[in-house]
Chains A and B, each alone.
Chain A
Amino acid sequence: MDKLLEIHDLHAKIGDKEILKGIDLEIKPGEVHAVMGPNGAGKSTLSAVLTGRPDYEVTEGSILYKGQDLLAMSPEERAWAGLFLSFQYPIEIPGVTITAFMKAAVNAKLKAQGKAEMKTGDFLKLMKEKMALVQMKPEFAKREVNVGFSGGEKKRNEIFQMALLDPVLSILDETDSGLDVDALKIVADGVNTLRSPEKSAIIITHYHKLLEYVQPDVVHVLKAGRIVKTGGRELIDAIESQGFDQF
């Protein structure tokens, strides 16, 4: 397969407000792309559109994922096909434990693939292993999803879910925001462990910190709903020294 993701002339709006104004982006298997840009550039809108958030409307353009029309798929179908979003603001689900949540997610995917559900013992073992990857304590398995979690715990929980669901294309939306250096390293190590020649990632961020630990192959600058510059890691340094105004 030549390309994993092909975004062509993507326009999207929320309400009456057009946020994405013609995005073109291609990602090959194994590549990590950074999307950098100032606040309000459309970074989170891009992740919302990729994962199928209902309140965003695509008005023009197309997205192909493994050659298939991504925009025709429901959010759950996209997840089954290997898409994953690490939320900028992970959602709290009172009354639902992490174990129940992830078991439902894993089994739904297996069911969609026509496979048998995982045995509870096997599932719990796998969960424990993936939690260890981001240094989540085992007791978190019984906690309600994100309820009462600190900012760092919520982000680690996102990367844990990513590890467990084993996605092909991961989108990390501002995963580094609000993290101290230790938490950032734990999250970055988790992400790096999951890198492989088949798997790709989009790292959305407005500053360079996470990119020191997770090195991208391609860097894009997103500004006012368009990608205004694409390059290599040298772009990170340019942004670091002179900001986004130069583009």
Chain B
Amino acid sequence: MGHGHYIAPPAGQYRVKAGEKLELQFVVLPGESRDIELGIDLTGPGAEAHIKALYLCKADEKVHFHIVMHHRAPGCKSTQLINGIAGGQAQVHFDGTIVVAPDAQQTEAYQENHNIVLTEEAKVVTKPQLEIYADDVKCSHGATVGQLNADELFYMRSRGIPEAEARTLQMLSFLSPVIPEGREEEIEAAIRSL
């Protein structure tokens, strides 16, 4: 795309066979809109898929995640953690579905999507869904949309940390579970640009 902001394996359809493990990491930084369509089929027993994603957007950018995690075989495991921050008039949509087929007993599937909006104009819509057709499964999903915590902000400022710096610290700590190793400085710079 010529931006260099986006790191990711190609979006699209993945098949994970018995005993295989897929790990995907997405980073979407300000400067572009992104549409990430991802379908993952866990087709063989014991297959695993782990997705981490981070997004930061501002101005009128649009970020859309559409993820379908399909557990088709027994004993498979999947985790998804998608955290991001929307500023400006950015629009974010997260659609995440976990499907557990009737044969996929002993499934473990977890999905978390946490979002912070920095302005009144920024908009985040998150729709996590579970479709479970097996009975012996461990599944959970969680989604939050919130703002930076005002009490934390004041506590830091009362210690002499300037407001902008305090906000950066808060955002870094919010994103820390999804920041790829070695990219902390780049993410910090992107946060400061919001």
Contacts of A96 in B (CB 8 A): 169-170, 173
Q: Once the chains bind, are B151 and A95 in contact (CB under 8 Å)?
A: no
Which of B150, B162, B170, B174 has the most A CB atoms < 10 Å from its CB? B162
A75 to B155, CA, bound (A): 9
A74-85 near B? 1/0 per residue, CB < 8 Å: 111011100011
Q: Who on chain A is nearest to B163 by CB?
A: A76
Least Cβ–Cβ distance between B85 and chain A, in angstroms: 14
Indicate if A229 sits at the interface (CB-CB under 8 A).
no
Least Cβ–Cβ distance between A165 and chain B, in angstroms: 7
Can you spell out 12 A-B residue pairs with CB atoms less than 8 angstroms apart?
A: A54-B150, A54-B154, A75-B158, A76-B162, A76-B163, A78-B158, A91-B152, A93-B173, A94-B173, A105-B160, A108-B161, A165-B160
Interface residues on B, range: 20 to 34
**Interface residues on chain A, number (Cβ under 8 Å):** 31
Contacts of B156 in A (CB 8 A): 93, 101, 104-105
Which of A76, A100, A112 has the most B CB atoms < 10 Å from its CB? A76
* 20 new A-B contacts at CB < 8 Å, known A84-B158, A85-B158, A102-B159: A54-B150, A54-B154, A74-B157, A74-B163, A76-B160, A76-B162, A79-B159, A90-B155, A92-B152, A93-B173, A100-B169, A101-B159, A101-B161, A104-B169, A105-B159, A105-B160, A108-B162, A108-B165, A161-B159, A165-B160
Q: Who on chain B is nearest to A83 by CB?
A: B158
A/B pair count, beta carbons within 8 Å: 71
Q: Once the chains bind, are B157 and A79 in contact (CB under 8 Å)?
A: yes
A interface majority secondary structure: helix
Indicate if A53 sits at the interface (CB-CB under 8 A).
yes
Contacts of A51 in B (CB 8 A): 158
Q: Who on chain A is nearest to B176 by CB?
A: A95
Q: Once the chains bind, are A95 and B173 in contact (CB under 8 Å)?
A: yes
